[in-house]
A and B are shown apart, each in its own frame.
Chain A
Amino acid sequence: MKRIGVFICHCGINIKGTIDVEKLTEELAEYPGVAYIENYIFMCSEPGQKLIRDTIVEHKLDGVVVAACSPTLHETTFQDALDEMNINRHQLEIANIREQCSWVHDDIEEATRKANLIIKTAVEKLKLNESLIPISAPLTKRVLIIGGGIAGIQAALDIADGGYEVILVEKEPSIGGHMIQLSETFPTLDCSQCIMTPKMVAVNKHKNIKLFANSEVESIEGFVGNFKVNIKRKPQYVDPDKCTICDDCTPVCPVVVPSEYDEGMSWRKAIYIPFPQSIPATFTIDTENCLGFNPIACTKCSDACEPDAIDYDKKPEYFEEEIGAVIVATGFDLYPVENMAEYGYGKYPDVLDGLQFERILSATGPTGGEMHRPSDGKVPKEIVFIQCSGSRDPERHLPYCSRICCMYTIKHAKLYKHKVHDGQPYIFYIDIRSGGKRYEEFVQQAVSEDGIVYFRGKVARIYKEADKMIVHGIDTLTSKKIEIKADMVVLAMGIKPNNSAEKVISNLKLNTDENGFLIEAHPKLRPVESLQSGFYLAGTAQGPKDIPDTVSQASAAAAKVLALLSNDEISHSPIVAIVNEELCSGCGICVSTCPYGARELDEIKKIATVNDVLCEGCGACISVCPSSAAQQKNLTDEQILNMVKIYSYL
């Protein structure tokens, strides 16, 4: 029989506070198979690991159970300790007595009893664990990045500069994301487009980046190092190789629709280029609004196009690419401003959201960067900004803080004041959160130099009187009612995961939190990795963040990918299915059950086989096998039953 050592961690008082570790040590010392048992304050510390390593030698152990925190945290730590002692890493089991015992129970007796059971099951499982060697599989040294905003662009450039090929997929006709819409950026007030466009051009020019704009990821199959992605490129109807960007087509187009780039505050034609610096720089026909799909109705742009670049019959194109890793950078959208009916959005044209105000401030915006309000073009003299619009309101809107709105509002007020010197900006706020580098200085400077007036409190309602919006609120610091006759109101909307990302994310089976943001492998220590190996996260898809944090995270994700790609091959978990050839009747039920095509029938032997590289170890084929010929390595029916017996015989 195996000689198993059991090591119980106190985790300071995290475990010891609720579980009587001394009693547990005593109780389990006599348990069959346990050759040695010990408890220690921090098993994961170097002295704790040394204790394990020394005991392995001293007591000739060939298996180790560590009773501590969840295996997601320290399983690899202790497996590595076993590796050092030349003991196979699969001779380690973690008994999760912290997250699933000491932290959820108060009663010491009950918790100790339960910890006893948990450790016994780990011992029972370990008794039958085989020593396994990781399966090595080839590694495709190419990366897919989903989303061409600043996060995707930064990650793409970093990886491409590292010498690996990148496939960048963007759903819109141009890369750039929301950052290209911004006017100037806090706290330095450098022009967003000026710092963004060089990066966009670099993406376009980079020999290692293959850009798929106006495209969507349809599906990804495979496993880390060996994915296959299907990409759909939506038709643009304009051949980029023939188009000379002469712009003869837009003046003749009879269809006028609100511009997405200007957040609906200017117009574009049905054939359009999203904005002057678009990458790729090609015209696109908007399928929904163009009349040309009915040749009798209109062919004006095609007639005007001298190089004959327009083809209304263009169909979507499908591409299959092989990749080794994926970075998900699908970004954000503003919380729908329509949900804030009490603030009159949609009813009053001079109530805007944050992105619309960015467009008014921008030199490429609908007003050419001059301050005019949408309704009558008047220069607004009094302007009210409302922070936390839709954020930090668990009852009705988003429960979380969107992190960027405090800073972008103060930037808005400051930029407004730079354009309208005699204007007065007012800001309603709950708290000012200016935690970034030089952010607090930026706020203080705006308050002292630009005369921005802050009211702590929420706005109750907004209504129109003549050409003014009457803003009713309360200043909770002075308990006074506030009434402002404003020319314009800007709602600092919170941010949420990108509207169209939901479909992609659910196709990829990535875990999201209750708000739809991607979940990282560990909130502090593995912030850019997904629990799904081979998937990495960057930017606001993972949670609200500003540009510096987004860029940092994108570079961090790129670094993780570069580390992965620097291996020559990838190791695949050996916890796969195995077939007992004596028992297998070759019925083939497993073949039709396997979601990965890893099970095949051997035509000569008339039995089922397992392709180790394709097997993901889910175990679906094991439970359907009528003759119990299929088993999962290190999680056999016998092991599960032995564990069940611990729980059932009491």
Chain B
Amino acid sequence: MKEQFTPKIVGFLCNWCSYAGADLAGSAKLEILPSLTVIRVMCSSRIDPNLVLTTLLLGADGILIAGCHPGDCHYEKGNYYARRRFALLKKVIKTLKIEPERLQLSWVSASEGKRYAEVVNQFTEKIKKLGPNPIQTNPYL
């Protein structure tokens, strides 16, 4: 059963660093696992905790938020907001009995195409091991 599990992963990428990094991975023709699909936002700080929770409750198996490295934010401090919010969010989803590992925050710069491919592939493998989001089998959640 678990062998055939193809996870559904949502990637929120910031426009300036991570989306450009993802494009660079494409230009370099790097091999990336196809489970993650991208939603482009201007900044990682745009990601509202509500959005993350709703995404999980809708059944996504994993969520990757990727932004500029600390200090490199196009909007000065957006990634710091994202980082702090993310730390709290992990605690919140634990109380929902959803594994906090389903949520990942990574820094990927515009020049790190290779890193983007590695981050996505490792995260996908991790979610594959975790299996489907428990929301799908637990009606009380």
Contact = CB atoms under 8 A, between A and B. Distances in A.
A513 B24 CA distance: 12
B78 A620 contact: yes
A650 B57 CA distance: 14
A597 to B, nearest CB: 11
Interface string A500-528: 00000010010111100001000000000
A642 B117 CA distance: 26
A623 B49 contact: yes
A644 B37 CA distance: 9
Interface in A609-650: 616-620, 622-624, 628, 632, 635, 637, 640-641, 643-645, 647-650
A456 interface: no
Contacts of A624: 81
A110 B37 CA distance: 12
Contacts of A509: 72-74, 76
A632 B109 CA distance: 24
A593 B81 contact: yes
B10 interface: yes
A100 interface: yes
B37 to A, nearest CB: 5
A622 B75 CA distance: 14
Nearest to B59: A648
A121 interface: yes
A449 to B, nearest CB: 44
A279 B73 CA distance: 37
Contacts of B10: 644, 647-648
Contacts of B78: 595, 618, 620
Contacts of B109: 511
A512 to B, nearest CB: 7
Contacts of B30: 104
B60 A121 contact: no
A644 B75 contact: no
Contact of B26 (A70, A106, A628): A70
Interface stretch (B14-22, B95-103, B122-130): B14-22
A106 B8 contact: no
B76 A114 contact: no
A481 B40 CA distance: 58
B38 interface: yes
A620 B46 contact: yes
Interface in A470-510: 506, 509
A635 B37 contact: no
A28 interface: no
Interface in B48-64: 48-51, 54-55, 58-60
B22 A619 contact: no
Interface in A416-472: none
B81 to A, nearest CB: 6
B41 A619 contact: yes
Nearest to A107: B34
A483 to B, nearest CB: 42
A105 interface: yes
B26 A98 contact: yes
Nearest to A509: B74
Contact of B41 (A513, A596, A635, A649): A635
B32 to A, nearest CB: 4
A104 B31 contact: yes
Contacts of B26: 70, 98-100, 103-104
B46 A99 contact: no
B42 interface: yes
B29 interface: yes
Contacts of B34: 101, 104-105, 107, 110-111, 113-114
A72 interface: yes
A643 B39 CA distance: 8
Nearest to A617: B42
A77 interface: no
A622 to B, nearest CB: 6
A100 B38 contact: yes
B39 A519 contact: no
B60 A506 contact: no
A71 B58 CA distance: 28
Contact of B27 (A99, A118, A512, A519): A99
B42 A619 contact: yes
A104 B21 CA distance: 13
A230 to B, nearest CB: 15
A406 interface: no
Contacts of B37: 114, 117-118, 121, 647
Contact of B46 (A596, A619, A645): A619
B17 A511 contact: yes
Contacts of B106: none
Nearest to A517: B111
Contacts of A644: 10, 39, 51, 54-55, 58, 60
A169 interface: no
Interface string A526-538: 0000011000000
Given A593-B81, A623-B46, A644-B39, A513 B27 contact: no
A623 B81 CA distance: 10
B137 to A, nearest CB: 15
Contacts of A643: 39
Nearest to A104: B32
A511 to B, nearest CB: 5
A618 B111 contact: no
Given A71-B40, A648-B10, A648-B58, 20 more contacts: A96-B23, A99-B25, A99-B27, A100-B22, A103-B29, A104-B34, A114-B34, A117-B37, A121-B39, A511-B16, A511-B17, A513-B111, A620-B81, A624-B81, A635-B46, A637-B50, A640-B41, A644-B51, A647-B8, A648-B55
8 contacts: A72-B20, A101-B34, A104-B31, A595-B76, A618-B75, A620-B78, A635-B42, A650-B8
The 6 residue pairs across chains A and B that have the minimum distance between CB atoms: A99-B26, A619-B46, A623-B48, A618-B75, A620-B45, A648-B58
